[in-house]
Amino acid sequence: MSDQMRFDDRVAVVTGAGNGLGRAYAMELAGRGAKVLVNDLGGGIHGTGSDDTAARAVADEITALGGQAEANADTVATPEGGAAIIDQAIQTWGQVDIVINNAGAVVSRGSVHEVDPEDYVTDLMVAAGGTFFLSRAVWQHMWERNYGRILNVSSSAFLGMLSGAGYPAAKGAVWGLSRMMAVRAIRGERDIKVNTVMPTSGTRMTHLMGPAIDEGMKKYYPPEAAAAQAAFLVHADVPVNGEMFLIGGDRMNRVFTGITRGISGAEGQRLTMEQIRDGFDAVLDTDDFVLATSSLEKALMDDRVDWSAGIGKVF
């Protein structure tokens, strides 16, 4: 079909692409014409070990189907690893147009008082650190070419779930980093789009949730069912920047940050605890809210300060 959304002449880097969602993303992009660097450290879901077998298998599968792909087994969890991944793609194809920061691990387990600090840091460095290191390595390249599509993979875990502290903390950090980069690109008037997804999918990680959930997730939410949504968000024609979406199965939903109208004190007066107590229902009321697009959202501020004067210095 002439109106098929294609990625011909585009180069994509997909991290954690040796299995599950990452593999599905890589296969979808390659099937629509993209050249894909398949990155996967090859370790277990708890962040241990390394082996390039998984990355090579997916790259070989793409090649066998007539596509173009290379394997990479560098870690995303260090600045050097992130730079090596991007450098390989540029050395191979001369450019990077798309990055999908999918790599993650579940290392820390137990309640917050039980989590080992080193495990917590490992969770942060793989999901949040990996997103930062890859984005840092490719950002100037995209900025100078005035083109780029970055898709960062968060998780509904950051909304609250019974898991180790590190994974939801890291996935929440991914959301904040994504918004920061999107605002930078918008204010710099660059054609760089940075969006985020919270995938629902049966993967190697879902067995940690028990056999009943694992079986249902893999039946109704296979990784391939999230691929089209992710690919759309890294296409040249994607119309949004800085947004978050729930994807997977047969669905795609927007996830947004809303700020209620809340309450305020009388002119020139601070709120008292008693006023807060008496007006707290209005603070919580979601019938009327503002969609926050940046930290300078009017709902966060007031008109007594000229916030625009410091944008270039602070933001």
- Environment class of residue 105 by beta-carbon count within 10 Å: exposed (0-12), middle (13-18) or buried (19+)? buried
Burial 185-206 (b: 16+ CB within 10 A, else e): bbeeebebbbbbbbbbbbbebb
Instruction: Extract the tokens encoding 116.
Output: 């080992």
Block residue for tokens 């660059």? 190
Number of Cβ within 10 Å of residue 294's Cβ equals: 15
Distance set, CA 58 to CA 14, 95, 203, 217 (Å): 11, 21, 16, 22
Q: Which residues are marked as active site? A: 167
Question: What's the rounded Cα separation, in Å, for the pair 128 and 170?
Answer: 5
Q: How far apart are the first and last CA of the chain?
A: 43
Question: What's the rounded Cα separation, in Å, for the pair 202 and 196?
Answer: 19
Number of Cβ within 10 Å of residue 247's Cβ equals: 23
Instruction: Extract the tokens encoding 260.
Output: 């209620």
Instruction: Extract the tokens encoding 206.
Output: 């879902």
Dihedral sign (CA 146, 68, 86, 29):
positive
Return the amino acid letter for 16. Answer: G
Residue 15, sorted as left (phi over 0), alpha (psi -120 to 50) or beta, turns out to be beta
CB contact at 8 A, 149 and 193: yes
